[in-house]
Amino acid sequence: MIVHHFYSGGKDSSLAAWILTRMGYDVELVTVNFGILDSWKYARETAERLGFEHRVLYLPTEILEKAAEMAVKDGHPNNAIQFIHEKALEALASLPEVERISDGTRRDDRVPFLDLPKARSLEDRFNVAYIRPLLGLGYKTIRELTEKLFMVEIRESEELEKSDYEVELRYFLRKEGIDPLTIFPKQHYQSRVMGWRE
């Protein structure tokens, strides 16, 4: 039973991957990339440290361009991140070998997040199961499990070597002459998992 699980190298997607393994699934990690930066390599490195299979899913640059337009128009990144995640889920779910897809979205997340009708629509349109191991967990539970399991590095978004959508979105905005700090929150700490705790 293989699950293709979206992976950024952060603690949420790492915890979700661990739970899937504990549930008996064979987990293959998938990192989204637009071919602009090789930022997927940080997720690959963490995946190897944790002992997971890992692949890169390349999405068309047009999706990143459209997301950047949305972020500039809105003045914040929420709709852009949501848009990229929905496109990524659809791209992964449409691959012929994929029967189960998963991500690390949480109960308390605002974006990216699929509400019930969208989650069901994704499953029905692509005939896949969509599994979100963290959806029923609050921040206390996620904190106690990640602290038990992982060595985590926490830095501000701008500094961290990460593999999530934000990295290429920030780079793309900067290339277009737009300061990402006018769009993303100033103090935005993010985490990267460095390995198992024991």
Cβ 159 to its own copies shortest distance, Å: 31
131 forms part of the interface with its own copies (CB under 8 A): yes
Q: Which residues contact 8 (CB under 8 A, 6 or more apart)?
A: 31, 43, 104, 162, 163, 164
Cβ 52 to its own copies shortest distance, Å: 17
Cβ 125 to its own copies shortest distance, Å: 13
135 forms part of the interface with its own copies (CB under 8 A): yes
Which of these ranges, 75-83, 125-133, 159-167, 169-177, lies near its own copies under the rule CB under 8 A? 125-133
Contact set for its own copies, span 98-117 (CB under 8 A): 100, 107-108, 116
145 forms part of the interface with its own copies (CB under 8 A): yes
Q: What kind and span of H or E run contains 146?
A: helix 139-149
26 forms part of the interface with its own copies (CB under 8 A): no
Closest CA to 120 of 130, 110, 107: 130
123 forms part of the interface with its own copies (CB under 8 A): yes
Give me the residue label for tokens 């934000």.
166
User: 97, 140, 159, 186: which one contacts its own copies (CB under 8 A)?
Assistant: 140
Cβ 137 to its own copies shortest distance, Å: 6
141 forms part of the interface with its own copies (CB under 8 A): yes
The residue (of 59 and 193) whose beta carbon lies closer to its own copies is 193
CA distance 156 to 12: 16
User: 73, 125, 148, 197: which one contacts its own copies (CB under 8 A)?
Assistant: 148
137 forms part of the interface with its own copies (CB under 8 A): yes
19 forms part of the interface with its own copies (CB under 8 A): yes
Q: How many helices (H) and strands (E) does the chain have?
A: 7, 7
Q: What kind and span of H or E run contains 147?
A: helix 139-149
Q: Which residues contact 179 (CB under 8 A, 6 or more apart)?
A: 173
Cα-Cα-Cα-Cα torsion 135, 141, 143, 148, nearest 10 degrees, comes to: -120
Eight-state DSSP code of residue 96:
T
CB count within 10 Å of CB 134 equals 22
Q: What kind and span of H or E run contains 175?
A: helix 165-175
Interface positions with its own copies (CB under 8 A): 1, 19, 22-24, 100, 107-108, 116, 119-120, 123, 129-138, 140-141, 144-145, 148
